[in-house]
C-alpha cells in the first residue's frame, strides 16, 4: 500500500519461527518492524540479520508505538502478551496454539472483543493455496463422499518445554481438516506416548477426530521422534483420493483416480476378494507457489490497515484449543471426549476461509 508509508508491526520472539515472521514482514512494502526479545544474544542476532529493524527487550517499551503485534513466543506466554497488547488496542496475531488453557483462550477472545480490535491466530495452512485447492476439490464432489482422512506430521522434532507434541503439531491438522470439512470435530480420542527416555511431555501421539455433520473420522499421527519428515494429509473419497504432501514441491496436491468397488465375492463360501481395485490417472492440479507465511502475514497487515476481520480469527484459535483440551481428557481417561462449543461457534467461520487472501 504505497500511500501508507509505515505500518508499525512488533514481532515478539526472535526464536526459530520469529525469524521467519521478521523475514516476511520486512519484505512487505510500508511495514516497519520492531523485534521484542528478552534474550540478549537473540536481540544481537536480530540486529545483525536486519539492521533496518528496531529491537527492544520488553513489550512495555514499545506498546504505544505499534499498529499491530505478532506473538511468536513459547505458547505458555501467549495469553499474557496478547491480553496486554489487546488491552492497549493493538491488533494482534498469535501463533498456534493460541494458548495452552481453555480459560486463557476465552480471556484472550474476550479481551479482543472488549477492545474492539482484531485478534488473529496463526493457522498458517489456511493461507496455503494447496489446502484451499483441496477444500475446493472436496466441495466440488470430485472425490465423491469423503470416507476417511489420514494425517501424518512426523520428524525429529524440536522438543518443547511447555507443551507436548499434540499441542505443538496437531493444531495444524485440526485446523486444516476443520477448514476442509467446514466444521469442528464433535469428539476426540487420543493415545499419547512418551517415547524418548527423559522426554518431559508426550512426543508421539495418535488422535481420532469425529466430525458429526460430515460423518467422517480423521486420524492424526504426530511425532517428534521420527527419522523421516512427513507432512501429509490423505482424503479418501468414494470415487477418488486426494493426497496433500507439503514436502512434494510442485506436486503438493495429487488426485488419484483409485478406489475399490464391491466384487461378486461369495460370502457364503468366502471365495474371491470382496473388492476389486480401480486404478486410473493421477492428476496434480497446479497451485500457486506463494509462501503461506507470507500470505498470512500480508493478510494480517491488510487487516490492520483496513480495520477488517481476519480470515482466521481468535475464535478459530480458541476452537482448536478446545479440541486439544478434549484430546488431553481423552488421553487421560482412555475414552472419547466431547469438544466443548461454548464461545467458539460464533465467529470461528470455518467455512469462510475462502476469504479472498492474496496469494
Ligand atoms: N506455524 C508454524 O508452522 C510454526 C512453526 C514453528 C513454531 N510455531 C509457533 O511459534 C511460536 C514460537 O515457537 P519457536 O519455535 O520460534 O520458539 P523458540 O523457543 O525458538 O523462540 C521463542 C522466542 O520467544 C522469546 N520470548 C520468550 N518470552 C518472551 C516475551 N515475553 N516477549 C518476547 N519474546 C519472548 C524467547 O527468548 C525466544 O527467542 C510457538 O507458538 C510455536 O508453536 C509455529
296 domain-assigned = yes
Between CA 188 and CA 176 the distance in angstroms is: 16
* Residue at 219 is within a domain: yes
Pocket flag, ligand 1, residue 41 (CB < 6 Å): no
Domain assignment present for 355: yes
10 Cβ closer than 6 Å to some ligand 1 atom: no
* Model confidence pLDDT, tens digit, residues 93-135: 999 999 999 999 999 999 999 999 999 999 999 999 999 999 9
Q: What is the pLDDT of residue 82?
A: 98
CATH number of the domain where residue 235 is located: 3.30.360.10
If you take atom 40 of ligand 1, which residue's CA is the nearest one? 74
Specify the number of domains making up the chain.
Answer: 1
Q: With a cut of 80, say whether residue 274 has pLDDT above it.
A: no
Please indicate whether residue 97 or residue 4 has the higher confidence score (pLDDT). Answer: 97
Average of pLDDT values for 84-100? 98
CA-nearest of 321, 327, 310 to 343 is 321
Decide if 102 is inside a domain. Answer: no
Indicate the SS3 state at residue 199: coil
Report CA(19)–ligand 1 centroid distance (Å). Answer: 9
97 cis-preceded (ω within 30 degrees of 0): yes
- CA 12 / ligand 1 centre spacing (Å): 8
Residue nearest to atom 38 of ligand 1 (CA): 15
With a 6 A CB cut-off, is 15 part of the ligand 1 pocket? yes
Question: Would you say 314 and 108 are in contact if contact means Cβ atoms under 8 Å apart?
Answer: yes
46 lies in some domain: no
Q: What cell does 138 get? A: 472436496
Cell of 12: 515478539
171 CB less than 6 Å from ligand 1?
Answer: no
70 touches ligand 1 (CB under 6 Å): no
- Ligand 1 centroid to residue 253 C-alpha, Å: 29
Backbone φ, ψ for residue 17 (5° rounding): -90, -30
Q: Is residue 236 part of a domain?
A: yes
Q: Within a domain: residue 249? A: yes
Atom of ligand 1 lying closest to residue 39 CA: 37
pLDDT in tens, 283-330: 999 998 899 999 999 999 999 999 999 999 999 999 999 999 999 999
**Who contacts 43 (Cβ-Cβ below 8 Å, separation ≥6)?**
14, 35, 37, 55, 57
- Check pocket membership of 211 for ligand 1, CB cut-off 6 A: no
pTM of the model: 0.94
Does the residue 123 lie in any domain?
no
Range of the domain at 218: 130-359
The beta-carbon contacts of 239-247 under 8 Å, at least 24 apart in sequence, are 239/142, 239/143, 239/144, 240/142, 240/143, 240/144, 241/143, 242/134, 242/137, 242/138, 242/143, 244/130, 244/131, 244/134, 246/128, 246/130
Amino acid at each position: 500500500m504505497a500511500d501508507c508509508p509505515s505500518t508499525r508491526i512488533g514481532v515478539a520472539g526472535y526464536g526459530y519461527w520469529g525469524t521467519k515472521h521478521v523475514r516476511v514482514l520486512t519484505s512487505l512494502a510500508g511495514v516497519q518492524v520492531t523485534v521484542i526479545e528478552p534474550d540478549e544474544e537473540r536481540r544481537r542476532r536480530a540486529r545483525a540479520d536486519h539492521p533496518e529493524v528496531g529491537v527492544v527487550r520488553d513489550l512495555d517499551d514499545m506498546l504505544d508505538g505499534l499498529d499491530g503485534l505478532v506473538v511468536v513466543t513459547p505458547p505458555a506466554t501467549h495469553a499474557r502478551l496478547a491480553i496486554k497488547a489487546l488491552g492497549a488496542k493493538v491488533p494482534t496475531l498469535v501463533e498456534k496454539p493460541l494458548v495452552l488453557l481453555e480459560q486463557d483462550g476465552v480471556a484472550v477472545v474476550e479481551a479482543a472483543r472488549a477492545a474492539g480490535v482484531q485478534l488473529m491466530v496463526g493457522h498458517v495452512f489456511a493461507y496455503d493455496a494447496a489446502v484451499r485447492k483441496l477444500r475446493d476439490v472436496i466441495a466440488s464432489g470430485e472425490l465423491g463422499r469423503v470416507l476417511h482422512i489420514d494425517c501424518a506430521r512426523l520428524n525429529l522434532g524440536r522438543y518443547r518445554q511447555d507443551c507436548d507434541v499434540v499441542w505443538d503439531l496437531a493444531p495444524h491438522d485440526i485446523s486444516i481438516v476443520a477448514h476442509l470439512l467446514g466444521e469442528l470435530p464433535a469428539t476426540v480420542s487420543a493415545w499419547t506416548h512418551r517415547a524418548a527416555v527423559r522426554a518431559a511431555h508426550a512426543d508421539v501421539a495418535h488422535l481420532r477426530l469425529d466430525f458429526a455433520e460430515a460423518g467422517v473420522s480423521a486420524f492424526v499421527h504426530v511425532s517428534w521422534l521420527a527419522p523421516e519428515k512427513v507432512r501429509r494429509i490423505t482424503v479418501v473419497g468414494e470415487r477418488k483420493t486426494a493426497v496433500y504432501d507439503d514436502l512434494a514441491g510442485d506436486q503438493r496436491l495429487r488426485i488419484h483416480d483409485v478406489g475399490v468397488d464391491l466384487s461378486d465375492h461369495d460370502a457364503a463360501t468366502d471365495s474371491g476378494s470382496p473388492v476389486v481395485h480401480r486404478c486410473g490417472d493421477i492428476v496434480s492440479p497446479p497451485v500457486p507457489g506463494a509462501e503461506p507465511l507470507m500470505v498470512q502475514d500480508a493478510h494480517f497487515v491488510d487487516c490492520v490497515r483496513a480495520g477488517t476481520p481476519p480470515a482466521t480469527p481468535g475464535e478459530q484459535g480458541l476452537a482448536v484449543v478446545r479440541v486439544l483440551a478434549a484430546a488431553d481428557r481423552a488421553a487421560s481417561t482412555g475414552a472419547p471426549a466431547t469438544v466443548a462449543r461454548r464461545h467458539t461457534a460464533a465467529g470461528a467461520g470455518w467455512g469462510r476461509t475462502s476469504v479472498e487472501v492474496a496469494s
